[in-house]
A and B are shown apart, each in its own frame.
Chain A
Amino acid sequence: MSFGRANQQWATFSRVWHILNADRQPAGGIGVLVSRYVQGLHKPIYHPTSDVGDHVVVVNAKKIAYSGNKWEEKVFTAHTGRRKGRVRMQAFKVHELDPTWIIRRNIYRQIPNNLLRRTLFQRVHVFEDENVPAEIIENVTNVLIGPRPVPKAITDYTEEEKDSFPKLFLRDKYFLKS
């Protein structure tokens, strides 16, 4: 699709739809990256009061990765407002309840707290797996690269590659009990 000189302004202010794969990506890093694109901070025409942000579709939210022991150590808190109404829940329990919640929270917190916050957040579409509705996926024209290079899992290697990997010592058959 080409834009002539006359239609250049339409192209400049049009909303682009990006897609981001959250597979084995850090949740906080995704929040920083997506909030930039939603606010329009990646465009030279950026202005905080003019609405120049884009749409971002995040897929595979179920497969995000935490470093260290954060799935168990990280605790999300909320308060109902009543006495003894404090709710504390570990990250892995939250993730079991709603796989998109952690990413949505990270993105929402990165968007500055002003009147535009809710409007901008409506342009973020998070899905737990790769099943995206057709009316959303048809708009997508761009792919974002995640904040961290995706490491190769042991299941991705073939049996030949595993065998050809140099072994420094041969492990005893009964080294691990179970």
Chain B
Amino acid sequence: MARGRFHGDRWWKVMRLKEQCQHYLKRSLRNRCGVAYRHLRRALIHQTKGRRLKVYATNILRNQRLEAACDEHEIGHRRFKRGLNKSGVTLNQHMLNILSMYEPRTFERLVELAERTEIETVRGVHEPLPERRFSANKINI
């Protein structure tokens, strides 16, 4: 590194840079400060933007999972969420995903609750629920 009269020693600064670049750069790139700095800057920009985009990505994924879980019980995910809202269940989407994966019976009861609430609030009657097969769109041979 060039040592100018007013610049001082940049050795420590370079070491900090190398520390951050160590794991994602090739050796040939790591030894060149300019290239390494450019890569690091690009990575940090991606990180900053990714923080915002991650929210959208997780929301899409959770929605897809909930749709799949609701399809198994032959109910639309919008109808399901509306029914839960009306009946005062305040589980969020992440929690519903976990329940549908690890506690399928609990999720089934939640579907029943939502369906019953929808029927009772709209028609104002207590009717027997429609029979549901586990796994929609399928006939077991």
Contacts and interface: CB of A to CB of B under 8 A. Distances in A.
B141 A141 contact: yes
Q: Summarize A's interface: helix, strand, loop or mixed.
A: loop
A42 B140 contact: no
Interface stretch (A43-51, A93-101, A108-116, A158-166): A43-51
Contacts of A44: 65-66, 68-69, 72, 97, 100-101
Contact residues on B (Cβ < 8 Å of other chain), bracket: 10 to 19
Interface stretch (A75-83, A123-131, A142-150): A142-150
A42 B70 CA distance: 9
A135 B138 CA distance: 22
Which of the listed residues B64, B97, B139 has the most CB atoms from chain A within 10 Å of its own CB? B64
Q: Summarize B's interface: helix, strand, loop or mixed.
A: helix
B101 A142 contact: no
A48 B141 CA distance: 29
Interface of B: 61, 64-69, 71-72, 97, 100-101, 137-141
Interface of A: 18, 41-48, 140-145
